[in-house]
Amino acid sequence: MDKNASIVLRVDIETQMTQLEEIYEKLEQRAQDMEADDPARLESIAYQIHNLYNAVEDLLKIVAAHFENHIADADRWHSALLKRMAQMIPALRPALLSETTFRLLDSLRSFRHFFRHAYSADIDLSQLMANLAKARQLRAQLQADVKHFLDQLDAS
């Protein structure tokens, strides 16, 4: 990889990771002192989980655009992008996501889809808590995966 392209990619990734941290801060603020009988708070937490997934997807798009930038299945590109980033592409790039991170993101993708399309549904507390736990687990996993990815790029 060209040195300048590598620098731009690293800066783009680091900028996106900073944005993810800002979303995590909002998520933790919303989740503090959460009450089951506070639907506005529950919706706000769900919205931040939705935003978190979208920001991660933007990170994946940054990497895909830099390397391969082509997902053939337009109808299922969200899941195709996620799967692609969990794959190492020989002679092109290492995998960005570990299997654990992939599974967490795939589950959060499903929650994001539900949240976007369930206009009249109430937020289920147990479902929200499960997804909040996954979002929290994702934080360290994704940071480790991104560090590993960048380290592998530096080594090649």
At residue 91, what is the residue type?
Answer: A
**DSSP assignment, residue 90?**
T
Alpha carbon distances (Å) from 60 to 31, 39, 105, 126: 26, 32, 11, 29
Distance between CA atoms of 98 and 149, rounded to whole angstroms?
A: 10
Determine how many CB atoms are found less than 10 A away from the CB of residue 112.
Answer: 22
Q: How many domains does the chain have?
A: 1
> What phi, psi does 82 have (nearest 5°)?
-60, -50
Which structural domain, as residue segments, surrounds residue 134?
A: 3-155
pLDDT per residue as tens digits for the range 2-58: 888 899 999 999 999 999 999 999 999 999 988 888 889 999 999 999 999 999 999
Query: What's the mean pLDDT in 104-109?
Result: 95
- The amino acid at residue 65 is A
Q: Residue 74: which CATH number?
A: 1.20.120
Q: What is the pTM for the complete model shown?
A: 0.91
